[in-house]
């Protein structure tokens, strides 16, 4: 019964589409809204038909023939993936690329460092790096003096009876709004006390200054790195014979790798992987062609796809249920 309904729906859709095409041929050019509406109708029907085809394909793929082919394809894929990381020729070629690339980079850095401009930039970079580290240390020490329980400032705050009272109220308050309010008031009192302590204000100012100086040093370091990159680019484009030879060794290693990867054992593994995938596709296609209902369904999908391309002037978006 379900198969009969499916056949009938396909035949009706074909007749409706044929009549629509004949009607369109009688009139003049259609506007964009009409084209859009027709495309949406086709889209909707295609989604329905592709959902049916998807379910049919999943059923076909559970057959013994397809299951065996899938097993063979999985083994071929596993062998191919294993070959990419374990084939001796491939591993050796990859290692050659890595070593020649490393040698080239090391030589390039050596050339930059040995140039007058490079040496000056690297000297400045060391100084700025040390300054940035020193600024970070200044911030950490100042913050520690402001917050550590044994620092004179924190001990002085804890000794204030009013602050101590509201600190206990904050810690003892239940979770929720009451605790948030107690915390806010305690912090307000603490800040007011810190504002009246010259030592605390000096530390706060020190933190602000050290952070600003550290940020400036970091910005200067970024600028130096950009200049060093420019020197590297200039060295790469120069006619330096040592660099040219190192680069040639790297390019030769890459060429050797591609030759190994796209030939010999790896190509044989790749061919077998592709052959097993093609065998699955062919078997599914043959099963669909051998079923009158599925063959009609496939033909109708192709017709709708063609109509969509003619109307929209482009291929239809991909669906998760596409064949």
Q: Give per-residue pLDDT as tens, 204-231.
A: 999 999 999 999 999 999 999 999 999 9
Query: 7-26: per-residue pLDDT in tens?
Result: 444 443 443 444 445 444 44
The mean per-residue pLDDT over the stretch 61-66 comes to 85
Cα(92)–Cα(98) distance, integer angstroms = 10
Query: 151-163: per-residue pLDDT in tens?
Result: 999 999 889 999 8
Cα(36)–Cα(30) distance, integer angstroms = 10
Where is average pLDDT lowest: 104-118, 126-140, 298-312?
Answer: 298-312
Write down the pLDDT at residue 32. Answer: 82
Q: Is 125 exposed, middle or buried (0-12, 13-18, 19+ CB in 10 A)?
A: middle
The CA dihedral of 67, 71, 72, 75, to the nearest 10 degrees, is: 170
At residue 321 the predicted structure's pLDDT band, cuts being 50, 70 and 90, is low
149 or 9: whose pLDDT is higher?
149
Distance of CA 133 to the CA centre of its chain: 33
- Give the whole-number percent of the chain exceeding pLDDT 90: 64
20 or 63: whose pLDDT is higher?
63
Query: 65-97: per-residue pLDDT in tens?
Result: 889 999 999 999 999 999 999 999 999 999 999
Contacts 24+ apart (CB under 8 A), 129-136: 129/217, 129/221, 131/213, 131/214, 131/217, 132/214, 132/217, 132/218, 132/221, 135/210, 135/211, 135/213, 135/214, 135/217, 136/210, 136/214
**0.85 exceeded by the pTM?**
no
Write down the pLDDT at residue 61. Answer: 82
As a whole number, the mean pLDDT across the chain is: 87
The answer, yes or no, to whether residue 143 has pLDDT greater than 50, is yes
CB 300 within 8 A of CB 15: no
Cα(277)–Cα(34) distance, integer angstroms = 42
Write down the pLDDT at residue 3. Answer: 43
Query: 257-310: per-residue pLDDT in tens?
Result: 999 999 999 999 999 999 999 999 999 889 888 989 999 999 999 999 998 888
Could you tell me the residue ranges of all domains in the chain? Answer: 2-85+276-312, 86-261
Write down the pLDDT at residue 218. Answer: 97
107 or 19: whose pLDDT is higher?
107
Cα(86)–Cα(99) distance, integer angstroms = 18
Pick the closest to residue 276 from 67, 57, 90 (CA basis): 67
């Amino acid at each position: 019964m379900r198969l009969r309904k499916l056949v009938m729906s396909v035949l009706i859709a074909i007749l409706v589409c044929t009549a629509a095409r004949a009607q369109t041929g009688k009139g003049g050019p259609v506007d964009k809204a009409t084209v859009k509406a027709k495309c949406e109708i086709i889209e909707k029907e295609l989604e329905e038909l592709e959902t049916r085809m998807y379910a049919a394909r999943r059923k076909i793929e559970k057959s013994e023939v397809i299951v065996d082919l899938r097993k063979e394809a999985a083994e071929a894929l596993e062998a191919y993936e294993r070959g990419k990381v374990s084939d001796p020729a491939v591993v050796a070629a990859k290692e050659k690329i890595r070593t020649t690339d490393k040698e080239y980079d090391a030589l390039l850095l050596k050339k930059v460092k040995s140039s007058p401009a490079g040496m000056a930039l690297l000297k400045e970079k060391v100084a700025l790096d040390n300054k940035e580290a020193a600024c970070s240390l200044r911030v950490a020490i100042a913050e520690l003096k402001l917050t550590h329980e044994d620092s004179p400032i924190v001990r002085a705050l804890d000794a204030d009876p009013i602050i101590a009272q509201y600190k206990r109220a904050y810690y003892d308050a239940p979770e929720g709004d009451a605790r948030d309010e107690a915390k806010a008031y305690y912090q307000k009192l603490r800040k007011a006390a810190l504002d009246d302590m010259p030592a605390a204000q000096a530390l706060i100012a020190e933190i602000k200054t050290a952070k600003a100086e550290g940020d400036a040093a970091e910005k200067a370091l970024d600028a130096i790195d950009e200049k060093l990159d420019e020197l590297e680019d200039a060295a790469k484009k120069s006619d330096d014979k040592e660099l040219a030879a190192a680069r040639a060794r790297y390019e030769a290693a890459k060429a050797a790798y591609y030759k190994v990867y796209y030939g010999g054992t790896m190509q044989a593994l790749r061919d077998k992987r592709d052959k097993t995938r093609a065998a699955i596709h062919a078997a599914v296609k043959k099963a669909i062609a051998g079923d009158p209902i599925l063959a009609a369904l496939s033909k109708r999908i192709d017709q709708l796809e063609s109509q969509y391309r003619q109307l929209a002037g482009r291929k239809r978006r991909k669906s998760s249920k596409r064949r």
